[in-house]
Structure 1
Amino acid sequence: MLLGLWTPMVAVESGSMVPNMNIGDIIIVQGISRTDVITWEEGKARGYRSFNNPGDVILYRPYGKEKLGVLDIIPGILGIGSSGDKATPIIHRAMRWVEMGEPMWDGGPPAPFAGYITKGDHNEVIDQMAGRILGVPNYAYIREHPERFRETADGILIDRETGLVIYSHGNTSYVTDGISYLTPVRKEWVIGVARYRIPYVGYIRLIPEMIVDWIRGII
């Protein structure tokens, strides 16, 4: 169990961290139980940098969703199931920590709970701004179809079929998309901290998923 994780390596699958992490890079991750997270704000004040910018890059499960595996993908390809309840972990920089009720950005809405504000180095906006409110939930439907929804320990409901997220803030409930829209990243969702980068080796790991995407496109 190297660096506190049973599987301490992940392959980068998107360009959100370019140029500091590129598609196909392998990232060595230290388990969160073995380290602390230094945010961009803290790193800038202390002169601490990681992957060319202040602060740590963290690997986290969006909304606490479970990791998407090959066995989850296959039913969706065959049209006999869905994997909306699961998601590939996100590897983005921890920008700052907010407490519940603090604005998530200057002039932004209050955080529904405490957590990290995160951002891809190549992205223009933080993760908490990247998404949409699609509407308000139909709780009568949710009560009638409890098997369709999974509730996290944080009280967030995840639609198993679509992956959409339902959460309450104050007296209002929302249905949202995006990887962490209007929700900070709770400590419990953080898998680990990125420590080292091995350029492009991850393409070997990504090839099977590229083939799956190609087959899905044909179907």
Structure 2
Amino acid sequence: MTTGDDVPDPLGGPRDAIRWFLRTEHPVVLFVREAASSALAVALVGMLLFSVSGVWPPLVAVESGSMQPNMEKGDLVFVMEEHRFSPEYATGETGVVAAQDAGEHDFRKFGGPGDVVVYKPYGNARQTPVIHRARFWVDAGENWYDRANESYVDAANCDQLRNCPAPHAGFITKGDNELTNDYYDQARGISSPVKPEWIEGTAEYRIPWLGWVRLTVSGTAAGGTVAPPVVV
């Protein structure tokens, strides 16, 4: 049964009701139909990105300027599970290439040597993840003061340096911004050495500006560029 202009009567049964929903020009139904198709498109894109990256969410918004000039606040960054396509010279079985090991292999990401990782500070899932570069690996109990760049520590020896000796094995990390982040995360207590299980993935690509939508919705867009080095 049709109601004219080849639009089925919605009262003609389930099949006619579905055909009416797909063909009618009623403004309310049009709105619902467009909203549903948009949501489906977003879901399909999300599933595709997840299948490629292996992490959820696969896209994060940079909330501060701690990675400038290689990442800017408001960038949308694609994150991939760290073991996918990792080179054979990655640190142990972590899938991450540290900056101190990257030079001889000419391995660079976002304008610098080594991987940029997204990690949970102290392994705490309730804290906002940090996106910083993995600088070097330390073993449990290691005195890593002599391996550190003296410009990034405010101490004269290991005893005066936070997280030294290393309380456990993990990565020493740091933001690329030399003005606001001229220190290792571990030297300022942002996190202890980053354990492999704390890493949510490695940053692979960035899309400028698109992250501002997420920051605005989350209410973090008004923060300054010297805010804590985090992602949403």
Using the size of structure 2 for normalisation, the TM-score is 0.59
Name structure 2 gaps, 5 residues minimum. Answer: 1-49, 87-94, 147-156, 159-163, 224-232
**Alignment partner, residue 61 of structure 1:** 120
Maintained 8 Å contact 1:104/1:117:
no
In the alignment, structure 1 residue 11 sits paired with structure 2 residue 20: no
Deviations 1:161-219 (A, max 9, x none): xxxxxxxxxxxxxxxxxx21xx20001100000000101110001102227979xxxxx
- Provide the C-alpha distance between the structure 1 equivalents of 2:65 and 2:222, rounded to a whole number of angstroms: 17
Q: Does 1:111 align with 2:166?
A: yes
Larger C-alpha radius of gyration, 1 or 2? 2
Match 2:129 to one of 89, 97, 110: 89
The aligned length equals: 146
Higher RCO (CA < 8 A, seq sep 6+): 1
Percentage identity across aligned positions? 47
1:26 to 56, 66, 76: 76
- Report if the CA contact (8 A) 2:83-2:96 is conserved: no
Cα contact 1:55–1:94 (8 A) shared by 2: yes
More strand by share: 1
Please give the secondary structure, in 1, of the residue aligned with 2:214: helix
Amino acid at match of 1:190: I
**Cα deviations by residue, 1:20-75 (Å, 9 ceiling, x for unpaired):** 01100001000134241000001122211110000000000001111xxxxxxxxx
> Residue type of the partner of 1:41?
Q
Q: Which residue does the alignment assign to 1:170?
A: none
Q: 1:104, CA displacement in angstroms?
A: 3.4
1:128 match: 186
- Confirm or deny: 8 A CA contact 2:63 2:221 kept in the other structure: no
**Residue type of the alignment partner of 1:47:** D
Structure-2 separation of matches of 1:212 and 1:48? 33
CA distance in 1, matches of 2:79, 2:137: 21
Structure 1: 5+ residue stretches without partners:
67-85, 132-178, 215-219
Q: Hey, what's the Cα distance between the residues in 2 that align with 1:113 and 1:101?
A: 7
Aligned partner (choices 213, 216, 226) of residue 204 of structure 1 = 213
Distance 1:33 1:40 in 2: 17
SS of match in other structure, 1:22: coil
Residue 115 to residue 14, structure 1, CA distance change in 2 (3 Å): same
